[in-house]
């Protein structure tokens, strides 16, 4: 295995698309491994532990959602769904099941590569030291140093627990987007069904918001918006 190369597992049964995307990824410098079915993908996933999975949903043996759920049982490996299914229900289901992004076919190669780069750049949780490029998130007076796993407000370091940090880092990856309770819980704890998980999230969120200085009732000035019963958004 070559060093310093991201491994991308491409799961796609249509040979034309598979070849096209694989060539595109190889040219862009990724190490690409391909699977044409869900069961092949599971085997390859287990032996290669890829940095990213690009996943078609319509596969011959099982629905691609099966692989998504399989991976999410115990790993936060970024997953980009690449599907012809364009309706909102499928998107929400995939995103809430832990997909990091959803690209609808047909797509342009430029768009796909940009989104691959964005996912890899933003994905921090499974970062083994030095393996992923560093970076910073800045939004008004709030900044996050992903390498140091440190959040700052007005350049003052905020003391967060590991879980609180993971949550705000996750929200920052999805800045501007309302993330459902289920989405956040899956990303952080990997299991939505766990009893009391929403309560646990709310407690952590309350602590984060207090620590970064968000005040109830000042929605305009706050970094984080809570849509009751739906989720949280880190505002752009």
Interactions with Ca ion, residue window 19-78 (CB under 5 A)? 56, 58
Using CB under 5 A, pick the residue from 7, 13, 107, 118 that binds Ca ion: 13
Q: Can you tell me the distance from the alpha carbon of 110 to that of 141, in angstroms, rounded to the nearest whole number?
A: 32
Give, in order, the Cα–Cα distances in Å from 225 to each of 97, 179, 219.
22, 10, 7
Q: Closest CB to Ca ion among 22 and 212? A: 22
d(CA 220, CA 111): 33
- The residue among 105 and 149 lying less far from Ca ion, judged by its C-beta, is 105
Comparison of 64 and 98: residue with beta carbon closer to Ca ion: 64
CB of 70 to Ca ion, least distance (A): 18
Q: Which range in 10-18, 85-93, 133-141, 149-157 contacts Ca ion by CB under 5 A?
A: 10-18
Stretch that binds Ca ion, among 5-13, 26-34, 135-143, 167-175 (CB under 5 A): 5-13
**In angstroms, rounded to a whole number, what is the distance separating the alpha carbons of residues 37 and 39?**
6
Which residue has the CB atom at the shortest distance from Ca ion?
A: 58
Among left, alpha and beta (phi > 0; psi -120 to 50; other), residue 194 is: beta
| DSSP labels, 63-97 | BHHHHHHHHHTT----EEEEES--SHHHHHHHHHT
Q: Which is nearer to Ca ion, 58 or 135 (CB)?
A: 58
Binding range to Ca ion, per CB under 5 A, among 11-19, 72-80, 134-142, 174-182: 11-19
Handedness of CA 117, 119, 123, 129 (dihedral sign): negative
**Residue whose CB is less far from Ca ion, 56 or 101:** 56
Say if residue 94 is exposed, middle or buried (CB neighbours under 10 Å; 0-12, 13-18, 19+): buried
CB of 37 to Ca ion, least distance (A): 10
Least distance in angstroms from the C-beta of 82 to Ca ion: 9
Residues engaged in binding Ca ion (CB under 5 A): 13, 56, 58
């Amino acid at each position: 295995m070559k060093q310093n190369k991201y491994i991308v597992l491409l799961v796609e049964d249509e040979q034309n698309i598979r070849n096209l995307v694989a060539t595109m990824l190889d040219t862009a410098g990724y190490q690409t491994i391909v699977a044409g079915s869900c069961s092949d993908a599971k085997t390859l996933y287990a032996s290669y532990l890829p940095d990213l999975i690009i996943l078609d949903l319509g596969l011959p043996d099982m629905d691609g959602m099966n692989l998504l759920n399989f991976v999410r049982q115990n790993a936060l490996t970024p997953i980009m769904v690449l599907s012809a299914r364009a309706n909102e229900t499928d998107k929400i289901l995939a995103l809430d099941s832990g997909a990091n992004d959803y690209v609808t076919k047909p797509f342009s190669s430029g768009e796909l590569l940009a989104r691959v780069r964005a996912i890899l750049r933003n994905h921090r949780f499974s970062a083994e030291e030095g393996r992923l490029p560093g970076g910073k998130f800045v939004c008004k007076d709030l900044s996050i140093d992903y390498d140091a796993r440190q959040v700052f407000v007005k350049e003052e370091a905020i003391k967060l627990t590991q879980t609180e940090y993971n949550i705000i880092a996750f929200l920052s990856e999805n800045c501007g987007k309302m993330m459902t309770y289920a989405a956040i819980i899956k990303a952080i704890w990997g299991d939505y069904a766990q009893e009391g998980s929403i309560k646990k999230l709310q407690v952590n969120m309350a602590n984060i918001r207090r620590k970064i200085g968000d005040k109830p009732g000042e929605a305009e000035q706050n970094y984080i918006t809570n849509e009751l019963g739906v989720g949280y958004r880190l505002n752009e």
